[in-house]
Amino acid sequence: MLLPSSVRLSRALPAVAAGLVSLGIAANVRADDATSVTVHEHDPVTGADAKAPGLRVDYLSVGPILSLVGGYHHATGIGFEASWMGYPTGKIPSFGIGAFFQGQLYDGQYVRTAAGAQASAGPVGVEVGLGFRQADGTYASTVSTHTSVFLSIAYFYMAFRASAQLFALPTDEPSFGLETAFTVGLKLPITINGRDPTGYAIQAAGHAW
Protein backbone atom coordinates (compact mmCIF):
# COMPACT_ATOMS: atom_id res chain seq x y z
CA MET A 1 0.00 0.00 0.00
CA LEU A 2 1.43 3.36 -0.99
CA LEU A 3 1.55 6.15 1.56
CA PRO A 4 1.05 9.74 0.62
CA SER A 5 4.30 11.55 0.00
CA SER A 6 3.65 13.92 2.88
CA VAL A 7 3.44 10.98 5.29
CA ARG A 8 6.63 9.43 3.97
CA LEU A 9 8.43 12.76 4.30
CA SER A 10 7.26 13.26 7.87
CA ARG A 11 8.59 9.83 8.83
CA ALA A 12 12.01 10.44 7.17
CA LEU A 13 12.63 13.86 8.73
CA PRO A 14 13.44 12.56 12.29
CA ALA A 15 16.04 10.14 10.90
CA VAL A 16 17.67 12.85 8.82
CA ALA A 17 17.69 15.23 11.79
CA ALA A 18 19.31 12.59 14.02
CA GLY A 19 22.02 12.00 11.42
CA LEU A 20 22.79 15.70 11.16
CA VAL A 21 23.06 15.99 14.94
CA SER A 22 25.49 13.06 15.06
CA LEU A 23 27.64 14.61 12.35
CA GLY A 24 27.68 17.92 14.22
CA ILE A 25 28.80 16.31 17.48
CA ALA A 26 31.62 14.40 15.73
CA ALA A 27 32.79 17.59 14.00
CA ASN A 28 32.87 19.47 17.30
CA VAL A 29 34.91 16.70 18.95
CA ARG A 30 37.45 16.77 16.12
CA ALA A 31 37.62 20.56 16.29
CA ASP A 32 38.21 20.45 20.05
CA ASP A 33 40.99 17.91 19.58
CA ALA A 34 42.60 19.96 16.83
CA THR A 35 42.53 23.22 18.77
CA SER A 36 43.42 21.87 22.23
CA VAL A 37 46.65 23.34 23.66
CA THR A 38 48.84 21.76 26.29
CA VAL A 39 50.37 24.36 28.61
CA HIS A 40 53.85 23.65 29.97
CA GLU A 41 55.50 25.38 32.89
CA HIS A 42 59.11 26.30 32.13
CA ASP A 43 62.00 27.06 34.46
CA PRO A 44 62.68 30.82 34.26
CA VAL A 45 66.46 30.27 34.34
CA THR A 46 67.05 27.29 32.04
CA GLY A 47 63.83 27.35 29.99
CA ALA A 48 63.37 23.63 30.64
CA ASP A 49 59.95 22.09 31.17
CA ALA A 50 59.50 22.20 34.93
CA LYS A 51 57.34 19.07 34.91
CA ALA A 52 59.54 17.07 32.56
CA PRO A 53 61.13 13.95 34.05
CA GLY A 54 64.62 14.67 35.39
CA LEU A 55 67.61 13.36 33.49
CA ARG A 56 70.99 12.61 35.01
CA VAL A 57 73.48 15.48 35.10
CA ASP A 58 77.26 15.12 35.58
CA TYR A 59 79.84 17.78 36.38
CA LEU A 60 83.61 17.98 36.06
CA SER A 61 84.89 20.64 38.48
CA VAL A 62 88.45 21.96 38.55
CA GLY A 63 90.16 24.74 40.45
CA PRO A 64 92.89 25.87 42.88
CA ILE A 65 92.94 24.92 46.56
CA LEU A 66 94.87 26.18 49.58
CA SER A 67 95.43 24.00 52.68
CA LEU A 68 96.64 24.86 56.16
CA VAL A 69 98.12 21.56 57.36
CA GLY A 70 98.52 20.44 60.97
CA GLY A 71 100.09 17.38 62.56
CA TYR A 72 103.69 16.41 63.29
CA HIS A 73 104.96 18.87 60.69
CA HIS A 74 102.84 21.91 59.86
CA ALA A 75 102.79 23.09 56.25
CA THR A 76 100.97 25.23 53.73
CA GLY A 77 99.75 23.40 50.67
CA ILE A 78 98.93 25.03 47.34
CA GLY A 79 97.58 23.06 44.40
CA PHE A 80 94.38 22.01 42.65
CA GLU A 81 91.45 19.64 42.88
CA ALA A 82 89.61 17.99 40.01
CA SER A 83 86.38 16.18 40.75
CA TRP A 84 83.50 14.46 39.00
CA MET A 85 80.05 14.49 40.55
CA GLY A 86 76.93 12.84 39.12
CA TYR A 87 73.33 13.59 40.14
CA PRO A 88 70.99 10.73 39.08
CA THR A 89 67.81 12.82 39.39
CA GLY A 90 69.19 15.77 37.43
CA LYS A 91 68.16 18.16 40.20
CA ILE A 92 70.29 20.47 42.32
CA PRO A 93 70.40 20.17 45.30
CA SER A 94 70.02 16.42 45.57
CA PHE A 95 72.09 13.32 46.32
CA GLY A 96 75.23 12.95 44.20
CA ILE A 97 78.16 10.55 43.91
CA GLY A 98 81.53 10.86 42.19
CA ALA A 99 85.30 10.89 42.53
CA PHE A 100 88.11 13.38 43.20
CA PHE A 101 91.84 13.96 42.73
CA GLN A 102 94.06 16.46 44.57
CA GLY A 103 97.62 17.53 43.88
CA GLN A 104 99.51 19.99 46.07
CA LEU A 105 102.96 21.30 46.94
CA TYR A 106 103.61 21.59 50.67
CA ASP A 107 105.77 24.63 51.48
CA GLY A 108 106.48 24.96 47.79
CA GLN A 109 108.63 21.81 47.49
CA TYR A 110 107.05 18.60 48.82
CA VAL A 111 104.31 16.81 46.90
CA ARG A 112 101.06 15.55 48.35
CA THR A 113 98.44 13.75 46.25
CA ALA A 114 95.11 12.14 47.10
CA ALA A 115 92.32 10.37 45.24
CA GLY A 116 89.11 8.59 46.09
CA ALA A 117 85.32 8.65 46.05
CA GLN A 118 82.95 11.38 47.13
CA ALA A 119 79.26 11.79 47.86
CA SER A 120 77.06 14.77 48.66
CA ALA A 121 73.60 15.63 49.91
CA GLY A 122 72.93 19.16 48.73
CA PRO A 123 75.99 21.39 49.32
CA VAL A 124 77.49 19.13 52.03
CA GLY A 125 79.57 16.09 51.18
CA VAL A 126 82.33 13.70 52.14
CA GLU A 127 85.53 12.50 50.46
CA VAL A 128 87.05 9.11 51.28
CA GLY A 129 90.27 7.85 49.72
CA LEU A 130 94.03 7.50 50.02
CA GLY A 131 96.77 10.13 50.20
CA PHE A 132 100.52 10.25 49.68
CA ARG A 133 102.87 12.81 51.27
CA GLN A 134 106.47 13.09 50.08
CA ALA A 135 109.38 12.86 52.55
CA ASP A 136 110.75 16.20 53.78
CA GLY A 137 114.07 15.15 55.32
CA THR A 138 112.61 14.63 58.78
CA TYR A 139 109.79 12.20 58.06
CA ALA A 140 109.59 9.49 55.44
CA SER A 141 107.12 9.50 52.58
CA THR A 142 103.78 8.47 54.04
CA VAL A 143 100.72 6.72 52.65
CA SER A 144 97.59 7.65 54.60
CA THR A 145 93.84 7.65 54.56
CA HIS A 146 92.00 10.72 53.25
CA THR A 147 88.72 11.54 55.01
CA SER A 148 87.19 14.94 54.43
CA VAL A 149 83.93 16.77 55.05
CA PHE A 150 83.29 19.57 52.56
CA LEU A 151 80.91 22.38 51.74
CA SER A 152 80.51 23.33 48.08
CA ILE A 153 78.34 26.31 47.06
CA ALA A 154 78.48 27.65 43.48
CA TYR A 155 82.23 28.23 42.89
CA PHE A 156 83.33 28.13 46.56
CA TYR A 157 84.78 25.02 48.20
CA MET A 158 85.72 24.51 51.86
CA ALA A 159 86.77 21.30 53.62
CA PHE A 160 88.21 19.87 56.82
CA ARG A 161 90.36 16.75 56.44
CA ALA A 162 91.88 14.14 58.74
CA SER A 163 94.45 11.68 57.37
CA ALA A 164 95.64 8.75 59.47
CA GLN A 165 98.96 7.16 58.52
CA LEU A 166 98.94 3.66 57.03
CA PHE A 167 102.67 3.10 56.45
CA ALA A 168 105.91 4.90 55.64
CA LEU A 169 108.25 4.41 52.68
CA PRO A 170 110.71 3.01 53.71
CA THR A 171 108.71 1.35 56.43
CA ASP A 172 111.49 1.49 59.07
CA GLU A 173 111.61 5.31 59.09
CA PRO A 174 109.29 7.67 61.03
CA SER A 175 106.16 8.82 59.19
CA PHE A 176 104.12 12.02 59.36
CA GLY A 177 101.51 10.38 61.62
CA LEU A 178 98.03 11.87 61.85
CA GLU A 179 97.62 14.86 59.53
CA THR A 180 94.83 17.43 59.61
CA ALA A 181 94.07 20.19 57.13
CA PHE A 182 91.66 23.05 56.56
CA THR A 183 91.18 23.67 52.84
CA VAL A 184 89.52 26.43 50.83
CA GLY A 185 89.29 26.70 47.08
CA LEU A 186 87.51 27.83 43.95
CA LYS A 187 86.13 25.23 41.56
CA LEU A 188 84.66 25.84 38.12
CA PRO A 189 81.87 23.33 37.31
CA ILE A 190 81.59 22.07 33.73
CA THR A 191 78.52 20.09 32.69
CA ILE A 192 79.69 16.97 30.85
CA ASN A 193 76.32 15.20 30.72
CA GLY A 194 72.75 16.49 30.90
CA ARG A 195 71.57 20.06 31.36
CA ASP A 196 72.81 22.24 34.24
CA PRO A 197 69.79 23.50 36.23
CA THR A 198 71.74 26.01 38.35
CA GLY A 199 73.09 28.46 35.79
CA TYR A 200 76.58 28.40 37.38
CA ALA A 201 78.22 25.74 35.23
CA ILE A 202 79.75 25.87 31.77
CA GLN A 203 77.46 23.81 29.53
CA ALA A 204 79.83 21.52 27.64
CA ALA A 205 77.41 18.62 27.10
CA GLY A 206 75.22 18.66 24.02
CA HIS A 207 72.34 16.77 25.64
CA ALA A 208 69.44 18.92 26.89
CA TRP A 209 66.07 18.29 28.53
pLDDT digits (tens, 9 = 90+) for 23-47: 454 545 454 454 444 444 555 544 5
Coil vs helix vs strand at 172? coil
C-beta of residue 179 within 8 angstroms of C-beta of residue 76: no
CA separation for the pair 197, 55 (Å, rounded): 11
Coil vs helix vs strand at 132? strand
Q: Could you count the other beta carbons within 10 Å of the beta carbon of residue 136?
A: 15
**pLDDT above 70 as % of the chain:** 72
**Extents of the domains making up the chain:** 57-203
Average pLDDT score over residue span 185-203:
94
CA separation for the pair 70, 183 (Å, rounded): 11
What pLDDT score was predicted for residue 85?
A: 97
Average pLDDT, the chain: 83
Coil vs helix vs strand at 4? coil
**CATH class entry, domain 57-203:** mainly beta
Residue type, 62: V
Task: With a cut of 80, say whether residue 197 has pLDDT above it.
Answer: yes
What pLDDT score was predicted for residue 205?
A: 75
Q: What is the dihedral of CA 70, 71, 72, 75, to 10 degrees?
A: -20
What pLDDT score was predicted for residue 69?
A: 98
| 3 state SS for 44-105 | CCCCCECCCCCCCEEEEEEEEEEEEEECCCCEEEEEEEEEEEEECCCCCCCEEEEEEEEEEE
pLDDT tens-digit profile of 90-116? 888 899 999 999 999 999 999 999 999
In the 8-state DSSP scheme, what is residue 108? T
Res. 79 pLDDT band, cuts 50 70 90: very high
Q: pTM for the whole thing? A: 0.72
Res. 15 pLDDT band, cuts 50 70 90: low
What pLDDT score was predicted for residue 16?
A: 45
